[in-house]
Amino acid sequence: MIRLVVVDDDFLVTTSLKTIIEASQEIEVVGTGHSAEDAVKLYHELQPDILLMDIRMGSSTGLDAAGKILSEKPDAAILLLTTFSDDEYIVEALKLGVKGYLLKQNMEAIVPSIKAAKNGQSVFGHAVVDKLPNLLQAEKNHKGCHIDLTDRELTTLSLIAEGLNNKEIAKELFLSEGTVRNYISVLLEKLELRDRTQLAIFYYKHLN
């Protein structure tokens, strides 16, 4: 059972999300809140597998909460949910290292996205993915962009960018999951990056 915390400043949205998500019978909403402060407090108290929260929540945003949580626990799995696909929010969310950025208009994608995030995948709504190449092209320089990668490392990187998890990559490349984990560790070290999300960003920015 996936343990989830839901935070949205609209009480009706929070209640609706809880009902929709728990209908899957694979996810338990262990806590709900209505502000960025609630998000930080509930995350520390409940230690959920996933934190799903709105971005625009009064004076303090979901991005503020994500920044605080990730500064203390870099591997925290946070999904941001919003009605807005503003470029500034997308870029900031990517820089923070959140696991996903979803639009409320695409409610049917929320449960699959939660499951994917629990499996270590990064998930972004189609409206966000469509914007990524242009947004990331704006940042030209990266200290690792000229580092040489082997063909197998490049292939692994491209599959990470496509959102495949380790098991799926292993099947695609006829490798063991342990070998895939080793390739990912090497990629993170060579490119001086932190996680799979940043690897995907690097790919779209420099190699796609």
pLDDT digits over 44-54, tens only? 999 999 999 99
pLDDT digits over 96-134, tens only? 889 888 888 788 889 999 998 998 888 877 667 666 666
CATH match of 2-128 with 3.40.50.12370: no
**Domain locations along the chain:** 2-128, 139-206
Closest to 101 (Cα-Cα) out of 139, 165, 55: 55
Within 13 Å and on the Cβ side, how many CA atoms surround 114? 28
CATH match of 139-206 with 1.20.1440.230: no
139-206: same fold as 2-128?
Answer: no
User: Contact, 193 vs 148, CB < 8 A?
Assistant: no
Q: Structure pTM?
A: 0.66
